[in-house]
Structure 1
Amino acid sequence: MSDINERLKGIVGENDVVLFMKGTPLFPQCGFSSRAVSILDHCGVKYESVDVLQDMEVRQGIKTFSEWPTIPQLYVKGEFLGGSDIMMEMFEAGELQEMLDEKDVARAE
Structure 2
Amino acid sequence: MTRVLLLPLRALAFVLWFTGAIVRSSGAVLADIATPAPRGAPRVVRLPLGAGGDAHLVALSVCITLTPGTLVLGVVPDGDDGRALLVHSLYHPDAETALADLRDTSHRLRAVVRPEGRP
TM-score norm. by structure 1 comes to 0.32
Structure with a larger share of its residues in strand: 2
Q: Return the index of the structure with the highest Cα Rg.
A: 2
TM-score norm. by structure 2 comes to 0.30
